[in-house]
Structure 1
Amino acid sequence: MTFKVPGFAHLSKRFSLLFNFIKGFILLSFLLRIAFFIWQYDEVSWNIFAIFRTVLTGVFYDFGVSIFIAFPGIVYLLLFPNKFIGSIVDKVLVFFFFVLTIFILVFTFFAEITFWDEFKNRFNFIAVDYLIYTHEVVKNIQESYPLPLLISGVVGITAFIVFLFYKCGSFRDTFTAKAPFKQRTVVFLSALLIVTVYISFVTNKDAEWSSNRYNNEISKAGIYSFFAEFRNNQMKYEDFYTTCDNQEAFGIVRDKITQKNSTFLKDDWSIRRTITDTLPEKVIQPNVVFILMESMSANFMKEFGNDKNITPNMDALAQNSIFFSNLFATGTRTVRGMEAVTLCIPPTPGQSIVKRPDNHNLFTVSSVFQKKNYKNNFFYGGDGYFDNMNSYFGGNGFTIYDRGRGSVLSDDIKTVRHNIEDNEVTFENAWGICDENIYDKMLKVADAHYQKKEAFFNFVMTTSNHKPYTYPDHTIDIPSGTGRDGAVKYNDYAFGKMMEKARTKPWFKNTVFVIVADHCASSAGKDEIDIKNYHIPAFIYNLPGVANQKIMQQCSQIDLFPTLFSLLHWNYESNFFGKDVFDKKFEPRAFVGTYRKLSLLKGEKAMILSDQKKQAFYAWNKETNDLKPLPMDKKFLDEAISWYQTADYLFTNKLLKE
């Protein structure tokens, strides 16, 4: 009993189920790829060559994935004796693992769709992270999607696929046909060769052949991408990126960050320096409330052309504060924003430093506040175990206030963690308590410090502007859970309500508020880096003696605290790459990146450094958000390399430690 398969003449029907599975997997993957094409129809390249290569590349990856998935079955067919074919054991094992595999794959296809909806990417390192934080992710899925309908759909589609295989006789053939050992060996060795080739010579980056990011992502296979990122989510700069001599790199960076009132402490590969202000510090230091807003893109504000009136409080604040109108996030995730504002450092490749090992006792903004005798507090409405936040902030001088309810800090963290109790919570979703509740907790802690005559630095991370976009009913005129606009408006509402309460506090007149987004709501686009989707708002409010103004200079999240410290006339030691934007030698620039691509933006020119030691130079059109290739500029390239190489060097060699 044989059937013909291309490359395998007269193959035993014992392999019928196996080979039909491979063909079915490639077909379903092809249909998903077409769906993504249609989904992003106005962003993908429809050039006939681009379409052909996208599909062909995708099929190549799908074939590899199908062999990986089928490989355990191939081993089973190799080792299972012919005399037991069709037995109860054979039928139970084959049927059970086939159905389980189909169920997992159907669920994975659904997951790819929801992941694309959120990130416009195939599975990447974010998906790998989500394996660790299953509670938040599962709860988010439950609150964002009709889970019973989703599971029913997965079960229904699985049953339908199994039925099709049954009707076409695949099970019958598999349980009635025998295969010679020689033939089974040839199939096994062929599969082993294919698996070895894919593991040894095919990387996920090979799918990135186009200048259009969407075509690249659609070319990939989600499962292959997932395991590629699982193996490679941390990257040493010197191994993957173009480098220059360290002496030259530090020379360039030191020249860029030097200012009239700064003195470097060492002549070696270091940026540590003292900054001495020309004016005396205040006798009574102001409190500082720092708010890192979840996913607050600049384009949500009326200030930047949005006509939906979803940020009235921030729009008002833009007219009554030191408003940074041309500031850019360094990355696309909350932990990247946290890294930028606390360490004042350009993004290093791979994971954010917030999530890396050995990230305690670093020189952060907390170090500066501690030396000024401030009490440093970190507030998060979810479980701070998520994204390693408690470990990072607890290991760098902050007292923790979160919704951990059972999670504990590691023994090496010498700080205190306080749980936000049930009686302090009026609303909670997958990502934590609502913004009103976390602000109320912050105000309560601020009151306690004021009573003890303690200066405080309160760092608040908001959560409400996140899928499933739910918040307390009847707070704003957009129903909860209906989309991003409602979450943005609630975020703004909660901020406005907090400011109203803060203004009634006796400590308000001596408190400075610093507000900035962690990243944009979406940073995906058709180009290597979608620069416009890194533009975020930032404010310094209630700083006596400094006129309200709009800072038009291009700058970065890493410049926010150095600018604040300068406005406060502080003398302090710095290990920061960020710089006071009011300094006469400040050169407008920003650092934007993904976990693999690192960019230096200066005006409307961008140098993008990629792994595999590649680089590209572009003109950025702010109106259309397009990148147009430019001839390479060696001086610009050397500067871009220097910023990122030195940042990675300092962390890798533990020179960011206090």
Structure 2
Amino acid sequence: MPQLRYAQPRYLSLLLGSWLLVFFITRSVLLLSHLADADVGALDLLRLYAIGLVYDLSFLLYAALPLALYLLLCPNRLWRSLAHRAALYALTSISLFAMLFTAVAEWLFWDEFGVRFNFIAVDYLVYSEEVINNILESYPIYPLLALLAVLAIGVTVALMRPLASALNAEPQPKPKALLFFGSLALAACTVSLVIGQDFPLGMGGNVYQRELASNGPFQFFAAFRNNELDYQQFYTTLPEHAVGSLLRDEVREANARFIGSDPQDIRRLIDNPGQPKPLNVVLVTIESLSAKYLGSFGDTRGLTPNLDELRQRSLSFSNFYATGTRTDRGLEAITLSIPPTPGRSIVKRIGRESGYGSLGQQFNALGYDSVFIYGGRGYFDNMNAFFGGNGYRIVDQSSVAESDMAFKNAWGMSDEDIYQQTLKVADADHAQGKPFFLQLMTTSNHRPYTYPEGRIDIPSGDGREGAVKYTDYAIGQFLQQAQEKPWFNQTVFVFVADHTAGSAGHEDLPVANYHIPLFIYAPALFEPREFSEVASQIDLAPTLLGLLNVDYSSTFFGRNVLREDRAPGRALIGNYQHLGLFDGTDLAILSPRRGMRRHDDALGRSHESSSSISDSLLRRDIAYYQGASHAFQKRLIAWHPTSLPDEGLSKR
């Protein structure tokens, strides 16, 4: 290229070439570490690296524009000065350090989540205090940073000859510099119109291949920009009346009366038979507890003796599924009973996260004290704003005295400590004669996997196995202490995971990786039994209110799965782009750019095929997610405590 005989383009090309090499090495290392999962043939390998090059160049076009503008407009006198030349050498070292740091960060992120940077990485940047402390407690970060700095300086020294040659070349004339920059800017604009998060257009195939072909920094900034996806714009739709009809069929129960005027409004009056039971409720949401870790679900390591025993004494759900892959998704589904709409969860849609018909609001209307108890600081993931704006009062780490916390790490106090706070709140409410609804969110089963020493036979910080076993230990201790309380026999304990420990797999939505436990325990009130039909986190709230025989005005997309007149089981699962409906056998998936697929025998051979809007499973899938997105946008899920008239309800 004629342009490369000039100093500035030559210097810029050295930096960008170094980035390309690092991206190539990162992609290759990730591929080699997951070669069996990627299942690549020769053509797949060629396609993977070709698409990868497109992604890499797309990111570098964006990233190069500010530096290119400076280099090309830099006055010749400044360009030739020794100080400026030293600054460019330093910039080279800094850039190399950033490249190596990005590569290591990608490796660690992939090791944790099995994907390139995405919404999670964006959240980690926003909630930096917890994340930085977690990293410091999990990895030897300072020696690692020092090593990366030494490597960056060493590579800069190795590049001294080509760098000096570039810097000694003739500076580019300003008209040609402006033309060169204009070409870069035009290319960047073109790329922004063509290349997206889901490039190339095909939505099927092996997920590992697509993630490996992608580029981490590109996906990071794309996720930051696209934190909400408009359902109507990106997904397949049905007419409003069809969505409303399908949704009402999905949530319909005997004696329920729909009262919404919008065709897609599912607000209805629920009449649960029997006399109301004014029982206390303690709902424990457990961090990252996959069903596969429990011995009663097949694990042979003996990590969960207390939970395995609890399952035998509870109303247990053997085919229960999380809606998403993050804590905020689990809390959204349990609290609001709504499918995982595309983009960010409602919990984190700042400014639009409150005022909804939550489970806490339902209990408040019954005279309960609704409390959200969190082991960490509730500003993380916007939890305090969400729960505080939806009927709960907050107890989190910041409201607990240091003397009341025996142990804490980057994410908050240990599970033992959060259970002690729960007992205190329950005791105080009971002393005042007030029923309580306490919704907990634990933190111990999370990297860095640290907990108080001497509790179990696995050292603190030794990995996920120890965190799971400690989580189980703390639950056993909590129930043992609760049994001594005067309110125990009038309390329903619910234990459920927020999501699984990992959702990555060959497919966009690997159903087995959304399988979580749900146990409802009240030995003085309910006989132990197992419910084996497929159910979803969005079913927890209406099922719980059904167990208490509560009549209420519902905006829930879930249903009481224990009613005899229930519809067949199904589970809603998704990530921030792909939206699935699993009926116990097959899985329908909606994707951006109006993609429609299904996986037949989703827990077995999982044969993927394209589908159409005539597919009844796809139509149900569309109805749930189009209806949920519409309900959120139009605030059809808002809390209206006065919308529960006396007529039509047998017990009020």
Matches within 5 A, 1:390-429: 390-404=384-398, 419-429=399-409
Find the counterpart in structure 2 of residue 36 from structure 1. Answer: 30
Structure 1 residues 537-546 or 30-39, which shifts more?
Answer: 537-546
Find the counterpart in structure 2 of residue 230 from structure 1. Answer: 224
Find the counterpart in structure 2 of residue 480 from structure 1. Answer: 460
Residue 280 of structure 2 corresponds to residue 275 of structure 1: no
Q: Which secondary structure does the structure 1 equivalent of 2:449 belong to?
A: coil
Residue 130 of structure 2 corresponds to residue 136 of structure 1: yes
Matches within 5 A, 1:262-341: 262-269=256-263, 270-282=265-277, 285-341=278-334
Residue 650 of structure 2 corresponds to residue 656 of structure 1: no
Find the counterpart in structure 1 of residue 502 from structure 2. Answer: 522
> CA distance change for structure 1 residues 172 and 250 in 2, over 3 Å: closer, same or farther?
same
Q: Deviations over 1:108-138 (max 9, x none)?
A: 2211111111111111111111111010110
> What is the rounded CA distance, in whole Å, between the counterparts of 1:473 and 1:545 in structure 2?
36
Deviation at 1:545, TM superposition (A): 4.3
> What is the rounded CA distance, in whole Å, between the counterparts of 1:121 and 1:436 in structure 2?
32
State which of 145, 149, 157 in structure 1 corresponds to 2:143: 149
Matches within 5 A, 1:532-611: 532-542=512-522, 544-583=524-563, 584-611=565-592
Find the counterpart in structure 2 of residue 644 from structure 1. Answer: 625
Q: Which secondary structure does the structure 1 equivalent of 2:53 belong to?
A: helix
One-letter amino acid of the counterpart of residue 312, structure 1: P
Q: Which secondary structure does the structure 2 equivalent of 1:169 belong to?
A: helix
Residue 167 of structure 2 corresponds to residue 174 of structure 1: yes
> What is the rounded CA distance, in whole Å, between the counterparts of 1:14 and 1:341 in structure 2?
56
> CA distance change for structure 1 residues 452 and 99 in 2, over 3 Å: closer, same or farther?
same
Residues 597 and 608 in structure 2, CA contact (< 8 A), matched pair in contact too: no
Matches within 5 A, 1:64-103: 64-103=58-97
Deviation at 1:96, TM superposition (A): 3.4
Find the counterpart in structure 2 of residue 431 from structure 1. Answer: 411
Residues 620 and 628 in structure 1, CA contact (< 8 A), matched pair in contact too: no
Q: Which secondary structure does the structure 1 equivalent of 2:159 belong to?
A: helix
State which of 355, 363, 388 in structure 1 corresponds to 2:382: 388
State which of 209, 231, 243 in structure 2 corresponds to 1:249: 243
Structure 1 residues 265-274 or 518-527, which shifts more?
Answer: 265-274
Deviation at 1:630, TM superposition (A): 6.7
Residues 372 and 387 in structure 2, CA contact (< 8 A), matched pair in contact too: yes
> What is the rounded CA distance, in whole Å, between the counterparts of 1:92 and 1:164 in structure 2?
16
Residues 282 and 492 in structure 2, CA contact (< 8 A), matched pair in contact too: yes
> CA distance change for structure 1 residues 206 and 505 in 2, over 3 Å: closer, same or farther?
same
> What is the rounded CA distance, in whole Å, between the counterparts of 2:434 and 2:179 in structure 1?
76
> What is the rounded CA distance, in whole Å, between the counterparts of 1:48 and 1:651 in structure 2?
46
> What is the rounded CA distance, in whole Å, between the counterparts of 1:548 and 1:361 in structure 2?
36
One-letter amino acid of the counterpart of residue 432, structure 1: G
> CA distance change for structure 1 residues 631 and 403 in 2, over 3 Å: closer, same or farther?
closer
> What is the rounded CA distance, in whole Å, between the counterparts of 2:186 and 2:272 in structure 1?
67
Q: Deviations over 1:437-485 (max 9, x none)?
A: 0010110111111111110001110000000111111111111111111
Deviation at 1:300, TM superposition (A): 0.4
> What is the rounded CA distance, in whole Å, between the counterparts of 1:186 and 1:267 in structure 2?
59
Structure 1 residues 316-325 or 628-637, which shifts more?
Answer: 628-637
Deviation at 1:172, TM superposition (A): 4.5
Identity of counterpart residues, as a percentage? 38
Residue 108 of structure 2 corresponds to residue 118 of structure 1: no
Deviation at 1:369, TM superposition (A): 0.5
> What is the rounded CA distance, in whole Å, between the counterparts of 1:68 and 1:111 in structure 2?
20
State which of 99, 105, 113 in structure 2 corresponds to 1:105: 99
Residues 22 and 67 in structure 1, CA contact (< 8 A), matched pair in contact too: no
> What is the rounded CA distance, in whole Å, between the counterparts of 1:36 and 1:300 in structure 2?
26
Deviation at 1:208, TM superposition (A): 6.4
One-letter amino acid of the counterpart of residue 332, structure 1: T
One-letter amino acid of the counterpart of residue 578, structure 1: G
One-letter amino acid of the counterpart of residue 601, structure 1: F
> CA distance change for structure 1 residues 631 and 21 in 2, over 3 Å: closer, same or farther?
closer
> What is the rounded CA distance, in whole Å, between the counterparts of 1:335 and 1:484 in structure 2?
21
Q: Which secondary structure does the structure 1 equivalent of 2:455 belong to?
A: coil
Find the counterpart in structure 1 of residue 646 from structure 2. Answer: none
Q: Deviations over 1:265-293 (max 9, x none)?
A: 235432111122331123xx111000000
> What is the rounded CA distance, in whole Å, between the counterparts of 1:324 and 1:294 in structure 2?
18
Deviation at 1:565, TM superposition (A): 1.5
Residue 196 of structure 2 corresponds to residue 216 of structure 1: no
Deviation at 1:179, TM superposition (A): 3.0
Q: Which secondary structure does the structure 2 equivalent of 1:42 belong to?
A: helix
One-letter amino acid of the counterpart of residue 391, structure 1: A
Deviation at 1:622, TM superposition (A): 2.1
> What is the rounded CA distance, in whole Å, between the counterparts of 1:177 and 1:165 in structure 2?
19
> CA distance change for structure 1 residues 161 and 541 in 2, over 3 Å: closer, same or farther?
same
Q: Which secondary structure does the structure 2 equivalent of 1:204 belong to?
A: coil
> What is the rounded CA distance, in whole Å, between the counterparts of 2:85 and 2:392 in structure 1?
59
Deviation at 1:176, TM superposition (A): 5.2
Q: Deviations over 1:152-202 (max 9, x none)?
A: 122122112211221x33134314543333443343233222222222322
Residues 444 and 471 in structure 2, CA contact (< 8 A), matched pair in contact too: yes
Question: Could you list the runs of 5+ residues in structure 2 that have no partner in the other structure?
Answer: 640-652
User: Alignment RMSD, CA only?
Assistant: 1.7
Structure 1 residues 516-525 or 210-219, which shifts more?
Answer: 210-219
> What is the rounded CA distance, in whole Å, between the counterparts of 1:623 and 1:617 in structure 2?
13
Residues 340 and 573 in structure 2, CA contact (< 8 A), matched pair in contact too: yes
> CA distance change for structure 1 residues 14 and 639 in 2, over 3 Å: closer, same or farther?
closer
Aligned residues: 634
Residue 191 of structure 2 corresponds to residue 198 of structure 1: yes
Q: Which secondary structure does the structure 2 equivalent of 1:569 belong to?
A: coil
Deviation at 1:645, TM superposition (A): 0.9
> What is the rounded CA distance, in whole Å, between the counterparts of 2:201 and 2:394 in structure 1?
41
Residues 303 and 472 in structure 2, CA contact (< 8 A), matched pair in contact too: yes
Residues 619 and 630 in structure 1, CA contact (< 8 A), matched pair in contact too: no
One-letter amino acid of the counterpart of residue 45, structure 1: D
Q: Deviations over 1:332-375 (max 9, x none)?
A: 00000001011111111111111113221210111210111000
One-letter amino acid of the counterpart of residue 390, structure 1: N
Q: Which secondary structure does the structure 2 equivalent of 1:592 belong to?
A: strand
> What is the rounded CA distance, in whole Å, between the counterparts of 2:275 and 2:10 in structure 1?
83
Q: Deviations over 1:585-612 (max 9, x none)?
A: 3211000000111001002111100011
Q: Deviations over 1:196-246 (max 9, x none)?
A: 222232212114645101111111111111111111110111111111111
State which of 502, 506, 513 in structure 1 corresponds to 2:493: 513
> CA distance change for structure 1 residues 630 and 110 in 2, over 3 Å: closer, same or farther?
closer
> What is the rounded CA distance, in whole Å, between the counterparts of 1:14 and 1:591 in structure 2?
54
> What is the rounded CA distance, in whole Å, between the counterparts of 2:566 and 2:101 in structure 1?
55
One-letter amino acid of the counterpart of residue 99, structure 1: S
TM-score scaled by length of structure 2: 0.94
Deviation at 1:60, TM superposition (A): 1.6
> CA distance change for structure 1 residues 89 and 637 in 2, over 3 Å: closer, same or farther?
same
> CA distance change for structure 1 residues 92 and 191 in 2, over 3 Å: closer, same or farther?
same
Structure 1 residues 251-260 or 328-337, which shifts more?
Answer: 251-260
Q: Which secondary structure does the structure 1 equivalent of 2:35 belong to?
A: coil
Find the counterpart in structure 1 of residue 643 from structure 2. Answer: none
Residues 304 and 472 in structure 2, CA contact (< 8 A), matched pair in contact too: yes
Deviation at 1:524, TM superposition (A): 0.8
Q: Which secondary structure does the structure 1 equivalent of 2:5 belong to?
A: strand
State which of 344, 347, 354 in structure 1 corresponds to 2:340: 347
Deviation at 1:423, TM superposition (A): 0.5
Structure 1 residues 96-105 or 117-126, which shifts more?
Answer: 96-105
Deviation at 1:397, TM superposition (A): 1.2
